[in-house]
Structure 1
Amino acid sequence: MVVGESGLGKSTLINTLFNRELYAEKEARNPGDEPASSVRIETVSTDIEENGVKLHLTVVDTPGFGDALNNVDSWRVIVDEINSRFDQYLEAETKINRTNIADNRVHALLYFIEPTGHALKSLDITFMKQVHEKVNLIPVIAKSDTMTEDEVLEFKTRILDDIKNQGINYFVPEQFDNEDDETVSSTEEILSRIPFAIVGSTKELQTEDGRIVRGRSYPWGIVEVDNEDHCDFIKLRQLLIRNFLEDLKEKTSKILYENYRSEKLKRLGIEQDDSVFREFDPVVKQEEERALHEAKLAKMEAEMKSVFQHKVSEREKKLQKSEAELFTRHKEMREKLLKQIKMLEEKKRDLENLRVAPASEPTASQPSKSRKGFLR
């Protein structure tokens, strides 16, 4: 969706972004000729293919915004359109067959700020405060080639200060800890250019050095659309199409739409039970399955540890019993061996005593010498 006052180059920027004439050149209109509350909603859809990647693009234009004398409620038609698209998606979700739900929600809103060089107007602040919680708001400074480089930088600072003071949220891509340094540097470079100072043109011009570029020709030179030194068009295209297309859709689906759906269901008296829808979130489901798997592994590990400790305890008891039996047997055998040694020593002493006895005393078997005499 593109929103901004007439004459700020919304159609030209869209044609420049996708390098095709989605919008034909419009005839100049006098804003005073438009009736009050003349904001309209115009939709253009097309299929874009680049390097084998197909994209179904729908651009929602809001001609007439800010052109009336009284613009107090000029934002209401646009907010109603955003809410209506949320309602269509919510209604599709409640049907029985939800396999092919057409997603017509607004995934990005480019808000064109007039290059006054001063600060945000009350209409700018009012509109952004009405939509910043419903869409991914991306502020851009239209026709930045009407200001000098220093004026652009000063104007950006004033815009960011107003946005911060008013509590307005604009789209900031989510950054992750595991991203490489090149990706982090690229993201920081894109964020540093917000609000994007853009110049739109599909006309091809030849520069003094012979290059063919898209840009605008002035007496003092050519402003190149695809030159980062001249404007922020390249960074805006990277944000919208190349780097964060899925991030825009994911934030719309998981945050902006969910907040709108919850608030609407509460207004209808239906309280949201997150546990009912928790199983449909693949990330939460995966975390639950991982937690269950880890708990199951922890239980199995505890059981195995208990069985192991039980077997070790039984084995220790058997070893202690075997050790006690061996000790008792060893003690008995030692006592028996000591007795045998004692008996052998006693027999040895007896034998030694027997060997000594014949040398000191006569035995009865030896014949006694007879004496000669009358007694013979």
Structure 2
Amino acid sequence: MFPMKDHSALEQHTLSRDELRRRKGYKKGLQLSILLLGEKGSGKSTFLNNLCGQDISLSDGDYDDDDDKVTNNVTPENGNAIEDIDPGYKTAHLNPGLKLVTRRVYLNDELGVPITLDIILFPGCGDNVDNSQSSVVIKNYLDQQFANVLKEEVRIKRNTKETDGRPHVCLYFLKSTPRGVKKFDIELMKTICDKVNLIPIIPKADGLTETELNLHKDIVRQEISQNNIRVFDFKSDALGETLALYDMDIDSSSAKSKYDNDTKIKEISPFAIVCSKTFNKNSENRVEHIRTYEWGSLVVEDQNTSDFIYLKAILLGSHLQELKDVTNNVLYENYRAKVLTEKKNNYDIPNYSYIDETSRGSVSNVSTRRNSASRTLGNPDTNDENAYQIHKEIDEKNRIIEDYQRKIDLLEKMLAAPHQSKV
């Protein structure tokens, strides 16, 4: 009789896919690029502060999306100047235009793995009287990031990491309205859904009752389905798996619990979140963001009151690599196949005009100016420079191929010569 093998010890040392990824991540770190869209006041900047656990300084004059800002009914007649409450009231009636704001944030996840978070925002999106050009500018920006990678791939000496500005996920903030999703939001999501992984968000969920929130989620799902908007597919992934990074389980025994460990992620989408600027540390030395009301307080990271903790775990943990894989293997490959099929010249990759970080004013002020900020995003050179460089590289490749062909022909003649002499 052969002794039975003890599989228990082997199972204890068997590493899951997520654990293997994280061990590898300890060495080189992780990177994720997030695009946030939504009109002003939807809470994007506060969400980023809660997600990163730090103030990433988006409201420095270039961008202001303060969802905790409360303007009282103050006039000069009651003793206070309007300028003290809202210095920009004189220009409030003007179109804000469309800008591009980017930030790079360095943080560590719950296991200490360094994460580089590239943040992309378009302030003014949906805030103008005429937003018809906003979707065009944003689509061109996404197309240009794909084009930059494709151009780099055909070079002899290439460095795709430096030119890769593709967003891996787009968090689209949809404000709650009695009429459902706005037409502009639907059109923009339809325009970009084949360029980036789309995840719809319902911000400020604490302003809705549970019945109203469930109704609004149903309306958003219905609008997305009817308009054939492609959102990120979570497949059959369970909600409880996302919290493994935080060493947490869904407290299904709680009377307030809305979900259990087997609840599918796609069943709770769109994610309803609550965010706050006030924070403290709990007994486990973890940062908790607190939202205070007259009747009490709410913890943003509480899984029973907000979907924020699930969304954070998805972005920075369980689905980080999958978001990047889908971007590269599905969305980019579809773009690449389409461009290579439609173009007349094999290396004639198109350029797209979009607004850059130096632009101020209306959305019609689009450009591809090259500066230090645009180089970070991988802005293209002019068409003539690109065409010259590409054709130069093609000529060099052809010359190398011809040299090798001549050497092959010479070797074949040398090998054939002894046989001919023997004959």
Using structure 2 for the length normalisation, give the TM-score.
Answer: 0.58
Matched residue of 1:80: which SS?
helix
Contact 1:41 1:78 survives alignment (8 Å): no
Matched residue of 2:108: which SS?
strand
Post-superposition CA distance 1:228-257 (Å, at most 9, x none): 221110111122111100000000001101
Matched residue of 1:67: which SS?
coil
- Number of equivalent positions: 265
- Once the two structures are TM-superposed, the CA of residue 267 in structure 1 deviates from its matched residue by 2.5
Q: Who is 1:17 aligned against?
A: 51
Q: Who is 1:56 aligned against?
A: 116
Q: Who is 2:271 aligned against?
A: 196
Contact 1:79 1:130 survives alignment (8 Å): yes
- Once the two structures are TM-superposed, the CA of residue 135 in structure 1 deviates from its matched residue by 0.5
Whole-angstrom CA distance in 1 between matches of 2:239 and 2:95: 53
- Once the two structures are TM-superposed, the CA of residue 163 in structure 1 deviates from its matched residue by 0.6
Q: Who is 2:360 aligned against?
A: none
Contact 2:271 2:308 survives alignment (8 Å): yes
Contact 1:145 1:223 survives alignment (8 Å): no
Q: Who is 1:39 aligned against?
A: 98
* Residues 206 and 42 of structure 1: CA distance in aligned 2, closer, same or farther (over 3 Å): closer
Matched residue of 1:145: which SS?
helix
**Pair 1:226 & 2:287 matched:** no
Q: Who is 2:137 aligned against?
A: 77
Contact 1:12 1:23 survives alignment (8 Å): no
**Equivalences for 1:1-376 in 2 at 5 Å?**
1-25=35-59, 26=64, 32-35=92-95, 38-50=97-109, 51-98=111-158, 101-102=161-162, 103-175=164-236, 183=241, 188-204=263-279, 213-269=288-344
Contact 1:204 1:215 survives alignment (8 Å): yes
* Residues 241 and 212 of structure 1: CA distance in aligned 2, closer, same or farther (over 3 Å): closer
Amino acid at match of 1:2: L
Contact 2:234 2:265 survives alignment (8 Å): no
* Residues 41 and 189 of structure 1: CA distance in aligned 2, closer, same or farther (over 3 Å): same
Contact 1:118 1:155 survives alignment (8 Å): no
Contact 1:34 1:67 survives alignment (8 Å): no
* Residues 117 and 247 of structure 1: CA distance in aligned 2, closer, same or farther (over 3 Å): farther
* Residues 181 and 232 of structure 1: CA distance in aligned 2, closer, same or farther (over 3 Å): closer
* Residues 68 and 174 of structure 1: CA distance in aligned 2, closer, same or farther (over 3 Å): same
Post-superposition CA distance 1:65-112 (Å, at most 9, x none): 111111222212211111111111111111112365333211000000
Contact 1:107 1:249 survives alignment (8 Å): yes
Whole-angstrom CA distance in 2 between matches of 1:231 and 1:21: 21
Matched residue of 1:164: which SS?
helix
- Once the two structures are TM-superposed, the CA of residue 271 in structure 1 deviates from its matched residue by 7.8
* Residues 255 and 270 of structure 1: CA distance in aligned 2, closer, same or farther (over 3 Å): farther
Percent identity, aligned pairs only, is 31
Q: Whose Rg is larger? A: 1
- Once the two structures are TM-superposed, the CA of residue 15 in structure 1 deviates from its matched residue by 1.0
Whole-angstrom CA distance in 2 between matches of 1:212 and 1:246: 25
Matched residue of 1:75: which SS?
helix
Contact 1:13 1:200 survives alignment (8 Å): yes
* Residues 12 and 49 of structure 1: CA distance in aligned 2, closer, same or farther (over 3 Å): same
Post-superposition CA distance 1:290-340 (Å, at most 9, x none): xxxxxxxxxxxxxxxxxxxxxxxxxxxxxxxxxxxxxxxxxxxxxxxxxxx
Q: Considering only aligned residues, what root-mean-square deviation do their CA atoms show, in Å? A: 2.8
- Once the two structures are TM-superposed, the CA of residue 189 in structure 1 deviates from its matched residue by 3.4
Contact 1:2 1:111 survives alignment (8 Å): yes
Whole-angstrom CA distance in 2 between matches of 1:245 and 1:157: 27
Amino acid at match of 2:229: I
Q: Which runs of 5+ in 1 are unaligned?
A: 273-376
Amino acid at match of 1:97: K
* Residues 187 and 40 of structure 1: CA distance in aligned 2, closer, same or farther (over 3 Å): farther
Matched residue of 1:47: which SS?
strand
* Residues 104 and 145 of structure 1: CA distance in aligned 2, closer, same or farther (over 3 Å): same
- Once the two structures are TM-superposed, the CA of residue 183 in structure 1 deviates from its matched residue by 4.5
Post-superposition CA distance 1:122-164 (Å, at most 9, x none): 0111011001111000000111111111111110001101110
Matched residue of 1:101: which SS?
helix
- Once the two structures are TM-superposed, the CA of residue 41 in structure 1 deviates from its matched residue by 1.0
Contact 2:152 2:159 survives alignment (8 Å): no
Amino acid at match of 1:214: H
